[in-house]
Structure 1
Amino acid sequence: MTDDEAGRIGENVRAARRARGMSLEVAAGLIGRTKGWLSRIENGRLRLERRSDIAALAQALEVSADSLLGMPAPEIRPDRRRFSLVRLQSVLLDAAPDDPPDVRARPLPVLRAELVRSDQALCQADYTTVMQALPGVIGELCVHVATADTAGRAEALKLLIRAYGSDSTCTLRHLGETNLARVSGERAREAANLLGDPVWTGAAAFGRAHARSSANRPRALMTSPQAADAVGAHIGNSRFAREVYGMLRLSAALACEIDGDHGGARQNAAEAAQVAAPLGDSPDAWELFGPANVGVWRASLAVEAGEPGEALTYADQVEPRALASGNRRAALRVERARAHAMLDHDAQAVRELRQAERLSPQQVHNHPLVRELVADLMTRAQSRDLRGLAWRMNVAG
């Protein structure tokens, strides 16, 4: 399906089902749903709002979830005028931790400072700054891996895992560049293999787990419980190890939820909350692991479980100022919007989406479930705020 042909998720489901020569009754039966339910999905009268349903349909129709989620229609995007993906794409595809580019590397302290600058910019959804700093940092760290002494090589590999697995993968995912995000996640794994540290291997595994849409049931996400167990055996007194372990437990909770294991999801999320409580919220925490971010994840998990009231309860318990990232504050708003929409609180959903867009426009505009939600809201309600949001996202009701 080309970008021009990609429509709402229901339309994509119908196209995939017909391409398989499968009847509504057969397709619905494969995922344990009724023919009427699937018909309403395909005709746009019911929104596919849970990743588990999308994953089940993709499996039944033998397509990737990405093909059902579709891609944004082609458009002139003002944000792309300020930066280009070419340099980051080049360093991801044409260099590697064990195959460095032919460039002169700045000293490690300088590269560490540049990575901090990239981290801070990413927290504020400032992708122009990220794109200015990150490609050079990645390439030069690869040079250090090849040329530094043992201590310098280890430090360069740790910085590379952060650059690949956190900054690059997250940035590319927010920009809708999922194929490049997957490459970045694989580069993080290569760096972790060279380092040979189980905790940093877990950090790389987290980035890989979230490089693709979770509705695809990517193997890296579905094996998060095992990755968390592996890190758990090496936590000791390390705060960083606890943060990695906690984020992997949250990933494991999402994997369980997508598989319909609500009990397993709750158990993993509760374990993450228990680990986060004594750590508190710190702006320097890896992936911002702490009670506030755990609350955002629990709100999302409740939405996935079809419990919008519970989701809003978790969201209300989160102090947004404790989240040192506009992206995470935007994610909180998105989950509140999804929960309100499930409760038919359309006006509240639109308000939350507008707030999320102000915090992180690229993340909101490229989130397939948000795009589907906005398209659905356009069929149910009309307001200037909603029409403006739909126009900026190039979404039609």
Structure 2
Amino acid sequence: MTQTHGSESIGQRIAASRRLRGWTQKRLALEFGNEFSLGLLRHVEQGRVPASPAFTSACARALGVNVTELFDQPYPRTTRDEQMVHAGIPEIRRELASYRIPPEDVPARPLVELAGDVARASRLRHSVKLGELGRFLPDLLHDLRIAWHSTSGPDQERIFGLLAEAYAAASQVAYKLGYVDLSSLAVDRYEWAAARSGDELAVLAGDYQRAGEMIATADWAAAGRFLENSRRRIESELNREDPATLAMWGNLHLKSGLAAARGGRRDLADAHLAEARETAERLGEDRDDYRLCFGPANVDIWSVGLAVEMMDGTEAVRRSEDVHLPTGTPRERVGHHYIDLARGFLLHGDREGAFSALQVAKRVAPTQTRYHPMVHETIRMLARQEARASETVRGFAAWCGITTID
């Protein structure tokens, strides 16, 4: 697969990978079991139906390729601005590689300064300023490495907690820019740091991230079992009246709902969503514990996304009518909602609604929208379904780096 970026859709890449393996469409469909049909595979390869994340990851697993190959990630940098967005990635990679090596003999920065910088990194993460965050993180990770080698006892545990939060930010930068393997490495580092923080909820936040890794590789059933064990730890070991613990409980249910939805288990996905909604109502407000947003508004966002994951665009659009995002909702969450909603409108057959949602996503979180593979898939479908793609649709596609629409 050496085509120039933007010249192939996900369906075309699936077809090319399938042919390289020497498989017919029927042979690949056999690998899906009862999860996806031969008809769906044909429609996706022909560009008549958008490839969902679940379908794409199932194809990648069956074909023995990385899902990033089918998404064509990371996207190439063709402008100075794009180069600047990606500029921090090499240094983040170096810092993740040397995470346990004692740094040079220099004094550690005060804990309060490090805490302030980690908070700034998390704000950049929620506002999806990926280029600025990527350039900010390497020095911060380095300074935190100095600090944990220079301290002991409770202060060292606090440093490990801050380091875990910084690793979570690094994982998000890498993931959103398409460096999925680097993102996975950052999750490994998060788990390592969280285990040394003395904070059980931080460890469970690592479980939330690990489950996301499993879901992305189409290991949906195993992710569900893993998350069930995580929730059992809350039931047996932690105070479920504590707001932060409640928020973690709700988030684990949301991630379980995603695993169920990707695996085609709608009733189970809806049950997890209902449990998360009940928990959010008990909290009565949105929180940001461990940089995992949770509360009524975030559950509403997830409700739309889960309907889309179950390929029910009509239900996603219906649920969206009840979504009211308060001022202060992180741009990352707002942008993600409108990206999902665009997919929902497309499945519902409302092309105008889909494009309007994409435009909102671009306005709220431009970098996230520019690099999101489902945005690329949605805009391709919009262009194909028009007898003559409008200049605005083609302009949006070009902004995303899509060079051809077939």
Same fold by TM-score greater than 0.5:
yes
In structure 2, relative to structure 1, the CA distance for the partners of 1:380 and 1:227 (3 Å cut) is same
Moved more, 272-281 or 325-334: 272-281
Name the CA shift for 1:55/1:209 in 2 (closer, same or farther; >3 Å).
same
Going from structure 1 to structure 2, the CA distance change for 1:367 and 1:59 (only over 3 Å counts) comes to same
Alpha-carbon distance in structure 2 between the residues aligned to 1:272 and 1:341: 27
Query: Identity of aligned pairs, percent?
Result: 25
Q: 1:318-340, CA deviations, whole angstroms, 9 ceiling, x for partnerless residues? A: 22225521111011111111110
Counterparts of 1:56 and 1:86 in 2: how far apart (Å)?
Answer: 30
Q: How does 1:72-91 map to 2 (within 5 A)?
A: 73-77=75-79, 78-81=81-84, 83-91=87-95
Aligned to 2:284, the other structure's residue is in SS state: coil
Residue 139 of structure 1: how far off its partner (Å): 2.0
1:52 aligns with 2:54: yes
> 1:4·1:74 contact (CA, 8 Å) conserved in 2?
no
Which of 177, 194, 197 matches 2:196?
194
Structure 1 contact 25–34 (Cα < 8 Å) conserved: no
Q: Distance in 2 between matches of 1:306 and 1:36?
A: 15
Is the CA contact 2:54–2:309 (under 8 Å) kept in the aligned structure 1?
Answer: yes
Task: Name whichever of 184-193 and 258-267 sits farther off.
Answer: 258-267
Aligned residue type for 2:234 = V
Are 2:386 and 1:388 equivalent residues in the alignment?
no
Aligned to 1:148: 151
Q: In 1, distance between residues paired with 2:115 and 2:3? A: 39
CA offset digits 1:95-149 (Å, max 9, x no partner):
23xx343354211111111111122222222234323432222222222222213
Alignment partners' CA distance in 2, 1:144 and 1:75? 35
Tell me the distance in 1 between the aligned counterparts of 2:237 and 2:317.
Answer: 35
Note if 1:125 corresponds to 2:132. Answer: no
> In the superposition, relative to structure 1, how do residues 163 and 104 fare at CA in structure 2: closer, same or farther (>3 Å)?
same
Question: Post-superposition shift, 1:211?
Answer: 5.4
Identify which of 279, 290, 309 aligns with 1:275: 279
Aligned position for 2:71: 69
Equivalent in 351, 354, 372 of residue 367 of structure 1:
372
1:137 equivalent in alignment to 2:140:
yes
Shift of 1:221: 4.5
Count of residues paired in the alignment: 393
Report the equivalent of 2:321: 316
- Does 2:260 correspond to 1:253? no
Aligned to 1:71, the other structure's residue is in SS state coil
| Structure 1: 5+ residue stretches without partners | none
Q: CA deviation at 1:151?
A: 0.9
> Cα–Cα, structure 1 residues 238 and 36, in superposed 2: closer, same or farther, change >3 Å?
closer
Residue 393 of structure 2 aligns with an amino acid whose one-letter code is L
Shift of 1:274: 1.5
Confirm or deny that 1:42 pairs with 2:45. Answer: yes
Match of 2:184 in 1: 182
TM-score (norm. length: structure 2): 0.88
Contact 2:129/2:367 (8 A) holds in 1:
no
Residue identity matched to 1:373: T
Decide whether the 8 Å contact of 1:54 with 1:65 is kept in 2.
yes
One-letter amino acid of the counterpart of residue 248, structure 1: L
- CA shift, 1:180, in A, is 1.5
- Taking structure 1 as reference, are residues 35 and 220 closer, same or farther at Cα in structure 2, changes over 3 Å only? closer
After TM superposition, the structure 1 = structure 2 runs for residues 297-308 of structure 1, keeping only pairs within 5 Å, are 297-308=302-313
Aligned-pair distance for 1:284? 4.1
For the residue of structure 2 that corresponds to 1:189, the secondary structure is: helix
Matched, 1:205 2:212: no
CA-CA distance at 1:54 after TM superposition: 2.4
Higher mean alpha-carbon deviation, 75-84 vs 255-264, is at 75-84
Residues 332, 198 of structure 1: alpha-carbon distance in 2 compared, 3 angstrom cutoff: same
* RMSD after superposition: 2.5
State how far apart, in whole Å, the 1-side matches of 2:99 and 2:37 are.
50
**3-state SS in 1 of match to 2:108:** coil
- What secondary structure sits across from 1:7 in the alignment? coil
Residue from 233, 254, 268 that aligns with 1:230? 233
Asked whether the equivalents of residues 317 and 348 of structure 2 are also in contact (C-alpha less than 8 Å), the reply is no
Partner of 2:340: 335
- Report deviation, 1:70: 2.5
- Are the equivalent residues in 1 in contact too, given 2:74–2:177 (CA < 8 A)? no
Pairwise CA distance, 1:53:
2.4
Task: Note if contact 2:338-2:358 (Cα within 8 Å) is conserved in structure 1.
Answer: yes
Range with bigger deviation, 2-11 or 100-109: 2-11
Secondary structure of the 1:95 match is coil
C-alpha separation between the residues in 2 aligned to 1:336 and 1:193? 37
In the alignment, structure 1 residue 15 sits paired with structure 2 residue 16 = yes
1:65–1:216 contact (8 Å) kept in structure 2: no
TM-score, length-normalised on structure 1? 0.90
Letter in 2 for 1:247: N
Q: Paired residue for 2:350?
A: 345
Separation (CA, whole Å) in 2 of partners of 1:108 and 1:120 = 18
CA distance in 2 between partners of 1:244 and 1:44 (Å): 39
Alpha-carbon distance change, 175 to 11 in structure 1, aligned in 2, over 3 angstroms: same
